[in-house]
């Protein structure tokens, strides 16, 4: 594991303002150039995603994906990159908070980096009148519904997403997953079920039970805040088993960062932002290596 240096100490009596990610990341571009962000820039944090999405030049749209044995199609948000050749696909697996505006911002950022990004709403049909995340009244309702999803339902919905995305005329044939929080654990778990997955990226998600890891074929990258003991406690058992099995599980641990650091970039006195600035280029490097993107 590679650990980042600890953040410098703040002198007593001085108060550090909460950093604004948009200012920190787009100072040279005066924020308004979200259409042409610097290479390797992470997705916007939750405080800035609305503005960035409004200014994005990329083509994002909602689509309906046909599900086997279901009359209700799966709703997904898709963003396409601007490139001449075919692109690899990355399935974006949402947090326990469902298909949020922030997840759409992640999809938009992946498209800016050259990938076809597909973010399925895994709560499709679970809300009032067959709705999904947007139909639920509160975040608590969304969390409750996500927790009620069965592993079989999640796998079937991801299978449908992967099959649909793989047939897109602009898709290059390789499909990877990236997930956050609940979705991070789901990304790792899906790798135990899908032998032809190109890669799986796990942002601060719990690892599967070790007896499931023998089925993993895809290389896995795990990115974690060091101050997230609930999740990091699951790293070592998985890493030891993956090493014993001769499988790829690369781990990055970011000192001072907490759970959800990519979304909450303004948190933890700058540690979350520092983690985001390191984790996203690492993510792109990993995805490009294993998808040809």
pTM of the predicted structure, to 2 decimals? 0.88
CA distance 290 to 292: 6
The whole-number pLDDT of residue 277 equals 97
**Token reading at 90:** 């990355």
- Which domains, and CATH codes, for the chain? 19-32+42-291 (3.40.50.1820)
The sign of the dihedral angle between the CA atoms of 102, 163, 113, 85 is negative
Nearest of 106, 182, 98 to residue 140 by alpha carbon:
98
Angstrom CA distances, 102 to 46, 125, 149, 240, stand at 6, 21, 21, 33
Strands (E), the chain: 2-3, 59-65, 74-80, 87-93, 116-120, 171-180, 199-203, 220-225, 249-254
The whole-number pLDDT of residue 261 equals 98
Q: pLDDT, tens digit, for every residue of 99-130?
A: 999 999 999 999 999 999 999 999 999 999 99
The whole-number pLDDT of residue 195 equals 96
The whole-number pLDDT of residue 140 equals 98
Residue with tokens 């597909």: 118
The sign of the dihedral angle between the CA atoms of 26, 28, 31, 33 is negative
H helical segments located in 220-270: 229-232, 235-244
Give SS3 for 14.
Answer: coil
The whole-number pLDDT of residue 59 equals 86
Label each residue of 65-124 as H, E or C: ECCCCCCCCEEEEEEECCCCCCEEEEEEECCCCCCCHHHHHHHHHHHHCCCEEEEECCCC
Q: What tens-digit pLDDT sequence spans the chain (293 residues)? A: 444 433 333 333 333 444 444 444 443 333 333 345 566 799 999 999 999 999 999 989 999 999 987 778 999 999 999 999 999 999 999 999 999 999 999 999 999 999 999 999 999 999 999 999 999 999 999 999 999 999 999 999 999 999 999 999 999 989 999 999 999 999 999 999 999 999 999 999 999 999 999 999 999 999 999 999 999 999 999 999 999 999 999 999 999 999 999 999 999 999 999 999 999 999 999 999 999 87
């Amino acid at each position: 594991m590679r650990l980042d240096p600890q953040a410098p100490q703040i002198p007593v009596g001085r108060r550090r303002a909460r950093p604004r990610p948009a200012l920190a990341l787009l100072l040279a571009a005066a924020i308004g150039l979200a259409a042409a962000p610097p290479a390797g820039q992470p997705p916007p944090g939750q405080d800035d995603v609305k503005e960035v999405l409004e200014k994005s030049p990329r083509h994002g749209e909602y689509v309906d994906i046909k599900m086997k044995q279901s009359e209700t199609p799966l709703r997904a948000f898709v963003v396409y990159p601007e490139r001449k050749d075919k692109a690899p696909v990355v399935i974006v697996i949402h947090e326990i908070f469902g298909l949020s505006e922030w997840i759409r911002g992640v999809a938009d950022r992946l498209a800016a980096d050259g990938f076809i990004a597909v973010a399925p709403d895994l709560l499709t049909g679970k809300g009032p009148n067959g709705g999904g995340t947007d139909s639920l009244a509160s975040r608590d309702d969304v969390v409750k519904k996500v927790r009620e999803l069965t592993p079989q339902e999640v796998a079937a919905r991801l299978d449908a997403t992967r099959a649909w995305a793989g047939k897109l005329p602009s898709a290059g044939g390789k499909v990877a997953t990236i997930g956050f929080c609940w979705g991070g654990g789901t990304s790792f778990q899906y790798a135990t079920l899908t032998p032809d997955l190109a890669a799986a990226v796990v942002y601060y998600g719990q690892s599967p039970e070790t007896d499931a890891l023998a089925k993993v074929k895809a290389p896995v990258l795990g990115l974690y805040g060091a101050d997230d003991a609930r999740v990091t406690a699951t790293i070592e058992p998985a890493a030891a088993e993956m090493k014993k099995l001769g499988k790829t599980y690369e781990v990055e641990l970011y000192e001072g960062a907490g759970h959800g650091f990519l979304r909450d970039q303004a948190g933890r006195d700058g540690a979350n932002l520092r983690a985001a600035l390191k984790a996203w280029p690492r993510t792109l490097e990993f995805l490009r290596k294993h998808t040809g993107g």
